[in-house]
Amino acid sequence: APPPEESSPHRPGAAILPLPLALSIPPPPLPCTDSRTCASTTASADATSASPAASAGAFSVEDYLVSRCNLYPNVAARVAPELSAIRSPSKPDAVLAFLASALEFSTPLIACSVLRTLAPRADELRALGFTTFQMGLLVARCGAAVFRSRELISTVQFWLPYLRGRVDKLVAALKGNPGLLSADLRTVRSTIALLLEEGTLSDDDVGWFAISYCSKLLIASPEEVDDVLARADEFGVPRKTRAFKDAIIAAFSAKPERLAWKAAFFRDELGWTEAQVKTAAAKMPTLLTVSAERLRRNWEFLTTEVGMDAERVANFPALLRYDLEGRLVPRFQVMRVLQARRLWRGRDFNNIAAITEEDFVAKFIRPFLVKVPNLAKVYEAAIVKKEAQ
């Protein structure tokens, strides 16, 4: 007889995590020895396949949970109302197939003890705010060894304060850098202490790095971080300024020879002076990581259409990073329409390019709709043209 519900809401071997630790895969049919039974079974199967609509109409979530998810009937009866929108097995079958594919990366979990390892670890993670689905993502992204590790909970507890307690952000960070949960915490603590003290980063900055493409910097050795900080200093940005964070990002994300090539690109192809390159790099170090194609196209637009020179662009380097068709061109067209109607108030283009979309519409479109009824259409048409490209 099965154990009472209070002792275990699942059958023995039922999946605790959203991974197929014990997905009830129907076994192959036993050989049929009774000709009458075989004929009856075959006829039944033919009738079912011949009438998919009837089969779909007879679908029972409760039966599905018992037969495919290995739940006790009383548990399935309690859960089924929450899944009443499911009308056929196609969607849950697809979910189970997806979860089964995750087992490819986590096969060692099969050898784990549910009572001694899996269930206690799941309970500990739930206490930290993990959902069952998030636990499944953790296993799929980091592997079974990390899930079984005795250090997992302390490592999760280490990272969560930097992410303001957001489990969803930690799970998202693991997609780009699963090593966050397997790195040696002693090394990580030394690295982060170095970034906080020498790199003048804040705890929020550390959290930002964790979910960015630079997250591997957080698990690098202190020696590697020292090298990154030294290269960041070459941008000429004081360490006590917020811009030094961008210098760290640029130094870490691009090799020195790549940064040198990009600086030469400004001088040789755009005609900038060495001083102008240094000015722009000091104001926005990540400018040297922007693709040459974007730099070239934005530069051509700013000089030929807007009428800006190198000195001015160097002092507002963000203009070279903005989306040309989605931001610069539409806003410049609005500016030209207002200038033609003598409604422009002398704002520089770099000012209107820098503000948010909401502020731009509030300040430069809505106030002029009475005098220029088609202004919004001009702006929207430019954006639609960009999206259609």
Q: Which long-range contacts (CB under 8 A, 24 or more apart) does 107-111 make?
A: 107/144, 108/143, 108/144, 108/145, 108/148, 109/17, 109/19, 109/21, 109/139, 109/144, 109/147, 109/148, 110/21
Domain match, 163 and 100 both: no
Residue 178 covered by a domain: yes
Residues 87 and 196 in one domain: no
Whether 66 and 120 share a structural domain: no
Q: Residues 95, 147: one domain?
A: no
> pLDDT tens digits for the chain (389 residues)?
444 433 334 443 334 344 433 333 343 334 444 444 444 444 444 444 444 443 445 789 889 888 887 788 888 898 888 888 888 888 777 766 655 655 555 555 555 566 676 778 888 999 999 988 888 889 888 887 888 888 999 999 999 999 999 999 999 999 999 999 999 999 999 999 999 988 778 999 999 999 998 899 999 999 999 999 999 998 888 887 888 999 999 999 888 899 999 999 999 999 999 999 999 999 999 999 999 999 999 999 999 999 999 999 999 999 999 999 999 999 999 999 999 999 988 789 999 999 999 999 999 999 999 999 999 999 988 886 655 55
Helix (H, G, I), strand (E, B) or coil at 18: coil
Kindly state whether residue 148 falls inside one of the protein's structural domains: yes
Find all residues with CB under 8 Å of 63, minimum gap 6, and list them: 76
Q: How many domains does the chain have?
A: 3
Task: State the amino acid at position 101 in one-letter form.
Answer: S
Q: Is 316 within a domain?
A: no
Asked if residue 151 is part of any domain, the answer here is yes
Same domain, 144 and 211: yes
Residue 87 near residue 61 (C-beta atoms within 8 A): no
**Between vectors from CA 201 to CA 198 and to CA 207, what angle results, nearest 5°?**
135
Q: Please tell me whether residues 116 and 212 are part of one structural domain.
A: yes
Clarify whether residues 94 and 120 are in a common domain. no
pLDDT for 23: 36
Cα→Cα distances 34→31, 42, 290, 330, Å: 9, 12, 74, 77
In this structure, the answer to whether residues 225 and 115 fall within a common structural domain is: yes
Q: Which residue has the tokens 């990366």?
A: 105
Domain membership of residue 265 (yes or no) is no
Cα separation of 23 and 96, whole Å?
8
First to last CA, the chain: 65
The two tokens of residue 193 are 């202490």
Residues 212 and 112 in one domain: yes
| Residue at 260 is within a domain | no
pLDDT of residue 99: 57
pLDDT recorded at residue 55: 44
Q: Which domain holds residue 62?
A: 1-105
- Provide the CATH number for the domain around residue 169: 1.25.70.10
Strand partners, 176: none
Given 195, 229, 263, the domain boundary residue is: 229
Of the three residues 201, 229, 257, the one that is the final residue of a domain is 229
Q: Are residues 114 and 23 in the same domain?
A: no
- Give the closest residue to 89 by CA, choosing from 55, 138, 50: 55
Instruction: Tell me if 246 is assigned to some domain.
Output: no
Give per-residue pLDDT as tens, 114-171: 667 677 888 899 999 998 888 888 988 888 788 888 899 999 999 999 999 999 999 9
Return the structure tokens found at 123: 């309970």
- Of 105, 122, 150, which residue is a domain's last? 105
My answer on whether 166 and 87 are in the same domain is no
Q: Residue 375 burial by CB count (10 A; 0-12/13-18/19+): exposed, middle or buried?
A: buried
Residue 4 DSSP symbol: P
Nearest CA to 312 among 265, 344, 342, 353?
353
In contact, 281 and 321? CB cutoff 8 Å = no
134 and 77: one domain? no
b/e sequence 113-138, b meaning 16+ C-beta within 10 Å: ebeebbbebbeebeeeebeeebbbbb
| Residues 252/262, Cβ–Cβ less than 8 Å | no
215, part of any domain: yes
- Please give the structure tokens belonging to residue 22: 């014990």
**Inter-helix orientation angle 222-233/243-253, to 10°:** 110
